[in-house]
Structure 1
Amino acid sequence: MTFEELKQQRSCILLECISGSKAYNLQVPTSDTDIKGVFILPQSELYGMSYTPQVANESNDEVYFEIRRFLELLEKNNPNILELLSTTAQNELYRHPLMDLVKPADFLSRLCLDTFAGYAKAQIKKAKGLNKKINQSYPKTRKPVIEFCYVISGGQSMPLLEWLYEKGWRPEDCGLSKIDHFRDVYALYHRQQFTTAVAFKGIFSGENANDVQLSSVPRGVDPPGIMHFNKDGYTVYCKDFASYWEWVELRNDARYQHNQLLGADYDSKHMMHTFRLLNMAAEIARYKEVRVYREDRDFLLRIRNGEFSYDTLLEMAAEKLDQMEQLYAASDLPEQPDPALAASLLIRIREEYYVPKKH
């Protein structure tokens, strides 16, 4: 089963809903329409060698879960699946009568504390990642190895480039040899120390080098300098450099510009969803229901509009997480859903769909 085949066999669709911001009542003029749903495999494909757990279009704006996968995730209290099952009637595009057998209240449990909080923490992490990248700035040219090299001078370390400048030496006229038992530490020599010509390779091979390079050094001559290459620091820098420019290339420019206009040094949309998830989790503990349509729209959109500082939001989120733990500790929700329920529902739905009762 592919997404295109499912669209051609709409009789296999059991549930189809508007999802995302429009289902949450958090839409803005630029919001897209996302669709999520549930389908059931044709009987012939179910009996075959393959199984299709879910299908989606190329942009991932429309996602459909096969009924078995849907029930598996529901049993795990997956927030996306609980939201789909609890979508308000006004956002349901189609609902097969068999879906009435699957009731959100039958699956709600203390697992929601971990799943909703886990999703919320993931949103904070994503917002933190943007916070870090907005406050980073890397030129398009990566720093060379030599900027991570230092020499001992006067009992202290100093940047190699400064040391070479003071001596009037060029890096390509220098040679390095390893010092035993000292990691990333090298004896540094210069051609003018030798009365005969020496073929030093230089400190590194070029601007794109990822390490220093060694030269063959004649014996019996003391090095004028001891050099350390901060290889660990260079590795971290290269990783951050690559990550930053990958983010620049792949980032959602509309969202980035939105955050820039707000003057927000974090992804305000991720933080909005953090609080949506935390509030929904608290409502599950209090009222034993998943409230997809957000009555707290004004507060959540204030977050999206950058009205709170990043640090303030982190403090508020930490406070809400503490409150959630207290709510779930006092709740009489079961530890987890009945493990037999999903299995019995799956059997009944397949039986009634594949072999409808005659009236």
Structure 2
Amino acid sequence: MTIQDLKSNNLILFEAISGSRAFGLATENSDTDIRGVYYLPKKDFFGLNYIPQISNETNDITYYEVGRFVELLQKNNPNILEMLASPEDCILHKDPLIDLLKTEDFLSKLCKDTFAGYAISQIKKAKGLNKKILNPIDKERKSILDFCCILEGQGSVPLKKWLLKHELLQDKCGLAGIAHTKGMFALYYDESGTLGYKGIIRHDDTNQVAVSSVPKDEKPDAYLFCNLDAYSTYCKDYREYWKWVSERNEDRYNVNTAHGQNYDSKNMMHTIRLLQSCEHIFRTGSLQIRVENREELLDIKSGNQPYEAVIQKAEDLVRSIEEYHSTANLPDHPDSEKTTGILVSIREKLYR
């Protein structure tokens, strides 16, 4: 079933413009997103062809089956609650049956987890992005040799530098573990190559140093420390960084680096808006869609506010939400029996 099928068969119950235009944050470059609610033909709903959601290829137009819509409302999903509370000038179509669903029947203290919880995850994401932008990782991957050093006097020397200084080859070295230590090895060198040493590593992409069998009468040439913890952290950061590079939106990345603040300014604008919306819910017991601080939010989107200031603003809002949440006159959860009953009434009218 496609969106065109929904329209051709008059199955759409609700349709509205969502996103920046609904929030009052649209600019000339803003996209137009559409969200809606539909119901399935009787034979599909009662049969084995239940379809909870239908979207176009770019996901900027999405419709939810009315049962799925109510289920998400009961979970206090931010996008779905804001969709139900769409401003009148954003509503393209509304069946009178949708008026049976009221935001006040769904708002609850769960919003702290759904609104603020999601926003907090975005703050963490912004911090991670900030770290990636400020700390790029070379494409050429380091080997475990870069995390090894040779103990020398009261200090240490990087292994590669030590090998170069003494004109030694890593594949002629042999390592033997030292009891009761972590990452420490005695290093032996076999210029003749007759003792069968395995080298410090067998190949460049190995995740472990090699340990060799060393004759008992051999004396170590040096002592080596391998920082496996640091190497493991580097490998994780390397994977995450280059995965991010391969998946990032280049246009948005270029905008974010151009304004010099090194964070996803558009995402942080919506994060602040979401936190302010959550604070409003617990302060007033109602959901407000249109923002009252358009210029402030667009200023964040434009990257005119330092990263640290935006993060501080978000953290202040989180603390405020905690305070209002403790005294808010809202139920812990929506009344599932009541709201499910409303859904049943809607279906009865649709399928009578």
Answer yes or no: same fold by TM over 0.5: yes
Question: Match of 1:270, as an amino acid?
Answer: N
1:122-153 CA distance string (max 9 Å, x none): 22122112111111111111111100112222
Q: Cα distance 1:6–1:326, how it changes in 2: closer, same or farther (>3 A)? A: farther
- The share of aligned pairs that are identical, in percent, is 43
Question: Match of 1:223, as an amino acid?
Answer: P
Deviation at residue 336 of structure 1 after TM alignment: 2.2
Q: Secondary structure at the match of 1:226?
A: strand
Deviation at residue 306 of structure 1 after TM alignment: 1.4
Which stretch of structure 1 is more off in the superposition, 344-353 or 328-337? 328-337
Partner of 1:327: 324
Residues in 2 aligned to 1:258 and 1:27: alpha-carbon distance in whole angstroms: 17
Deviation at residue 80 of structure 1 after TM alignment: 0.7
Question: Is 1:221 paired with 2:221?
Answer: no
1:78-157 matches, cutoff 5 A: 78-157=77-156
1:1-359 matches, cutoff 5 A: 2-4=1-3, 6-7=5-6, 9-192=8-191, 197-355=194-352
Question: Match of 1:321, as an amino acid?
Answer: V
1:169-212 CA distance string (max 9 Å, x none): 121221223344434332211113x6x82333321233333322
Q: Cα distance 1:148–1:10, how it changes in 2: closer, same or farther (>3 A)? A: farther
CA contact (8 A) 1:123 1:273 kept: no
Deviation at residue 278 of structure 1 after TM alignment: 1.6
Deviation at residue 297 of structure 1 after TM alignment: 1.0
Which consecutive segments of 4 or more residues in structure 1 shift more than 6 A? none
Question: Match of 2:334, as an amino acid?
Answer: P
Question: Match of 1:89, as an amino acid?
Answer: E
In the alignment, structure 2 segments of 5+ residues that lack a partner are none
Deviation at residue 335 of structure 1 after TM alignment: 2.5
Q: Secondary structure at the match of 1:290?
A: coil
Q: Secondary structure at the match of 1:187?
A: strand
Question: Match of 2:293, as an amino acid?
Answer: D
> TM (normalized to structure 1)?
0.91
Q: Cα distance 1:3–1:240, how it changes in 2: closer, same or farther (>3 A)? A: farther
Deviation at residue 50 of structure 1 after TM alignment: 4.7
Q: Secondary structure at the match of 1:151?
A: strand
In the alignment, structure 1 segments of 5+ residues that lack a partner are none
> TM (normalized to structure 2)?
0.93
Deviation at residue 225 of structure 1 after TM alignment: 1.8
CA contact (8 A) 1:265 1:310 kept: yes
Which stretch of structure 1 is more off in the superposition, 264-273 or 322-331? 322-331
Residues in 2 aligned to 1:6 and 1:230: alpha-carbon distance in whole angstroms: 61
Number of residue pairs matched by the alignment = 352
Residues in 1 aligned to 2:169 and 2:131: alpha-carbon distance in whole angstroms: 36
